[in-house]
């Protein structure tokens, strides 16, 4: 599998931006637009907003002006995600979906059913899921931050080491530890529940 578009996407859509600066979607959106490459390639989505930080906000994924989306980030509660994914038109070609929400297989049988639903939709629509229950990913070498994690967004040391952590908490702690030792990181992945 070619992961180029996951770690270096041409465009990113973020479902769940909000005027609340502490919401995961808003934190991630603000981190993304710090990178000049994405100032015209990030698409915030929220049916209750018209604009945020000077960007037009789209009501849903189907209303986006592009049909090919490299990375779709979903920062809404777990129970909303199957409907969000189900409603995406087959005209929209999405490569990767990063899901921040917890409340899936890690909580037991009910969450497992919810996770199976989103995996089935992903298989039908042809995209791959990072997560759910993921802190996100980062390509530090290119300053691409697809995460809401404070430890991820604050990390500045570029290097040649990439690492994957199933646990976002452990991954964040390792980033802080690497920073304290002066160790640079190239790519960070929080794999979460590893549903696919």
Cβ contact 20:28 at 8 Å: no
Look at residue 171 and give its three-state secondary structure. helix
- Rounded CA-CA distance 188/26 in Å is 20
What pLDDT does 1 receive?
67
Residue 132: which pLDDT band, with cuts at 50, 70 and 90?
A: very high
Answer yes or no: pTM beyond 0.75.
yes
What pLDDT does 148 receive?
97
The whole-chain average pLDDT of the chain stands at 96
Cβ contact 69:146 at 8 Å: no
Q: Token digits for 114?
A: 């919810």
Query: How deeply is 50 buried, as exposed, middle or buried, from its count of CB atoms within 10 A (0-12, 13-18, 19+)?
Result: exposed
- Rounded CA-CA distance 89/96 in Å is 15
What pLDDT does 39 receive?
86
Cβ contact 14:75 at 8 Å: yes
Cβ contact 58:43 at 8 Å: yes
Look at residue 29 and give its three-state secondary structure. helix
pLDDT per position as a tens digit, 74-105: 999 999 999 999 999 999 999 999 999 999 99
Residue 140: which pLDDT band, with cuts at 50, 70 and 90?
A: very high
- Give the contacts of 85 (CB within 8 A, at least 6 positions apart): 74, 97, 118, 121, 122, 125
Query: How deeply is 103 buried, as exposed, middle or buried, from its count of CB atoms within 10 A (0-12, 13-18, 19+)?
Result: middle
Q: Token digits for 95?
A: 């490569």
- Rounded CA-CA distance 100/129 in Å is 11
Q: Token digits for 53?
A: 């930080």
- Rounded CA-CA distance 120/71 in Å is 18
What pLDDT does 188 receive?
97
Residue 142: which pLDDT band, with cuts at 50, 70 and 90?
A: very high
Percent of the chain whose pLDDT exceeds 70: 99
């Amino acid at each position: 599998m070619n992961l180029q578009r996951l770690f270096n996407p041409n465009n990113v859509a973020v479902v769940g931006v909000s005027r609340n600066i502490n919401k995961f979607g808003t934190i991630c959106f603000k981190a993304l637009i710090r990178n000049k490459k994405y100032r015209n390639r990030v698409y915030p989505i929220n049916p209750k907003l018209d604009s945020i930080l000077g960007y037009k906000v789209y009501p849903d994924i189907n209303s986006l002006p592009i049909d090919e989306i490299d990375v779709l980030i979903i920062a809404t509660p777990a129970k909303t995600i199957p409907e969000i994914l189900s409603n995406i038109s087959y005209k929209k070609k999405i490569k990767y979906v990063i899901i921040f929400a917890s409340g899936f297989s890690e909580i037991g049988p009910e969450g497992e059913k919810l996770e199976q639903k989103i995996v089935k939709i992903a298989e039908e629509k042809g995209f791959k899921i990072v997560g759910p229950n993921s802190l996100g990913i980062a390509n530090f070498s290119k300053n691409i931050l697809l995460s809401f994690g404070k430890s991820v967004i604050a990390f500045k040391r570029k290097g040649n080491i990439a690492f994957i952590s199933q646990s976002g908490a452990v991954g964040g702690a390792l980033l802080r530890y690497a920073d304290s030792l002066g160790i640079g990181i190239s790519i960070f992945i929080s794999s979460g529940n590893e549903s696919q």
